[in-house]
Amino acid sequence: MTTEPMPSRRRFLRYAAGAASLAVLGGAGAVGFAGGVHPNAAAYGYWRQKEKNGLSDPQYLALCATLAPSPHNTQPWKFGIAGDRIEIFADLSRHLGTADAEFRMMQTAIGSALENIDVAAGRLGYRAEVQDLDADRRFAQDGYCASVRLHRGQVVRDGSFDALFTRQTTRTEYDMSQPVPAALKTALNQRTGDLPGIGLTWFPDGPLVTRLGNVLRGSVRGFLSDDRNRDGMKWFRITPDQWETRRDGIAVFNGDAPLLAKRYVEWFVHEQDLLSAQFKQGEIDTLDRLVSTTPAWGLIYADRATPNQRIQAGRLAERVYLEAAARGYAVQPLCYPTEFEPSREGLRELAGLAPAQDPLFLFRIGKSDYVAKSVRRDLKEVLLA
Ligand SMILES: Cc1cc2nc3c(=O)[nH]c(=O)nc-3n(C[C@H](O)[C@H](O)[C@H](O)COP(=O)(O)O)c2cc1C
């Protein structure tokens, strides 16, 4: 008996994978702003919670932190609250394994959560002072990353707090007739001032973007061909129930895949299909489609390859997401070239980085519709007792 899928099933798997893989690398449907697949499911509730609703100030700041992006939606953080101090730890049990062997993406995500605390603290009338950023020494011991002390200050009323709730990873084709304004790029470049050693560079249109596309294609093939893909796919949720119950991971349901493809994934895709050649090819097809529907590309890099620098880079990544969301632009990171070592060199060359500089967060940005929200874990799960 053969385990090889029948041709028609094979074709459909590739098609469904093209949709599903968007969840991993690139996917997307305007299901509704701030909604989820089943909008009232608890897993989406925090996207609407702009009030404390009985939480203490630090608890609410931790809730806002959980709205940050994270690789494969692992939400790899824990928050310890002691008076006016919030300590942020990485939850090492939520590591992506070989897909993030050096913990680069995990540390970047922690930086984004830290940025959310800073933004939400401003709205509550606090100045958040980052203290003891010490992941370089402590991360390997107990996952400690940094702490934040809250000082009474001015209430900040800019658009970034609201953007915490509209920000999302938008895995869709972006509108090529709407370029990203230079003013937005400049505004983002100006947000690096308090992040020493962190930079943001843009890939101008033309031959450089064509070469970037080639680096991306090479990296996705390399990434998909080894254990990294298997470890990453452990976070793929096949059914909406799975996704909304576990409240983590990625799924096809907040992608722009046609309903038929989503249903096919839900009803007919099995775990072993996620590692099939068809699924991989679907992902490669998707990448091609996204590369040709991206009006602008940016890259966040660090001067040194250290955990502390990655946390700082994660803060800038979240600023990109929030500033873009506040101005009605969509963002999607594409981590393959930064996480597949042979491609990192190519990226460095294209971006004009020095050999010691570390490319960390490549993203596409442009105009697009909103997609459905991704799930979030219960706050109780991420607060240290
Ligand atoms: C360091 C990092 C790398 C990421 N890489 C990718 C990626 O390669 N492709 C992608 O579609 N999303 C990527 N994401 C986005 C996450 O999948 C996304 O944040 C998560 O699924 C939660 O969804 P949300 O951002 O819409 O809240 C990345 C996020 C982070 C923080």
Q: What is the pLDDT of residues 143-202, one digit of tens each?
A: 999 999 999 999 999 999 999 999 999 999 999 999 999 999 999 999 999 999 999 999
Q: Which amino acid is at 244?
A: E
Ligand 1 near 25 CB (within 6 A)? yes
Ligand 1 near 71 CB (within 6 A)? yes
| Ligand 1 centroid, distance to 70 Cα (angstroms) | 5
Atom of ligand 1 nearest to the CA of 109: 31
Q: If DSSP states are collapsed to H, E and C, what string results for the chain?
A: CCCCCCHHHHHHHHHHHHHHHHHCCCCCCCCCCCCCCCCCCHHHHHHHCCCCCCCCHHHHHHHHHCCCCCHHHCCCEEEEEECCEEEEEECHHHCCHHHHCCCHHHHHHHHHHHHHHHHHHHHCCEEEEEECCCHHHHHHHHCEEEEEEEEECCCCCCCHHHHHHHCCECCCCCCCCCCCCHHHHHHHHHHHCCCCCEEEEEECCCHHHHHHHHHHHHHHHHHHCCHHHHHHHCCECCCHHHHHHHCCCECHHHCCCCHHHHHHHHHHCCHHHHHCHHHHHHHHHHHHHHHCCCCEEEEEEECCCCHHHHHHHHHHHHHHHHHHHHCCCEEEECCHHHHCHHHHHHHHHHHCCCCCCEEEEEEEEECCCCCCCCCCCCHHHHECC
| Ligand 1 centroid, distance to 285 Cα (angstroms) | 19
* Residue for token pair 């996917």: 27
Q: In the structure encoding, which two tokens stand for residue 67, read together?
A: 């709205």
Ligand 1 near 169 CB (within 6 A)? yes
Inter-residue contact 321 to 69 (CB < 8 Å)? yes
Which of 70, 167, 360, 365 to mutate to test ligand 1, by most ligand atoms within 8 A of the CB atom? 70
Q: Over pLDDT 70: what percentage of the chain?
A: 91
Ligand 1 near 70 CB (within 6 A)? yes
- pLDDT-derived band at 257, boundaries 50, 70, 90: confident
- pLDDT-derived band at 40, boundaries 50, 70, 90: confident
Nearest to 332 by CA among 363, 301, 367, 290: 363
Give the residue whose CA is nearest to atom 20 of ligand 1.
73
Instruction: For residue range 81-132, list pLDDT tens digits in order.
Output: 999 999 999 999 999 999 999 999 999 999 999 999 999 999 999 999 999 9
Inter-residue contact 355 to 51 (CB < 8 Å)? no
**Rounded to two decimals, what is the model's pTM?**
0.93
Q: For the purposes of burial, counting CB atoms within 10 Å of the CB of 195, is it exposed (0-12), middle (13-18) or buried (19 or more)? A: buried
**Average pLDDT of the residues of the chain:** 90
Q: Which amino acid is at 137?
A: R
Q: In the structure encoding, which two tokens stand for residue 223, read together?
A: 């990434």
Strands 126-131 and 85-90: unpaired
Atom of ligand 1 nearest to the CA of 334: 8
Instruction: For residue range 315-353, list pLDDT tens digits in order.
Output: 999 999 999 999 999 999 999 999 999 999 999 999 999
Inter-residue contact 307 to 103 (CB < 8 Å)? yes
For each of the domains in the chain, give its residue range(s) and CATH number, in order of start.
Answer: 7-382 (3.40.109.10)
The angle that helices 135-142 and 104-123 make with each other, rounded to 10 degrees, is 110
Supply the pLDDT for residue 17: 63
Inter-residue contact 252 to 17 (CB < 8 Å)? no
Q: What is the mean pLDDT of residues 230-249?
A: 94
Give the residue whose CA is nearest to atom 19 of ligand 1.
69
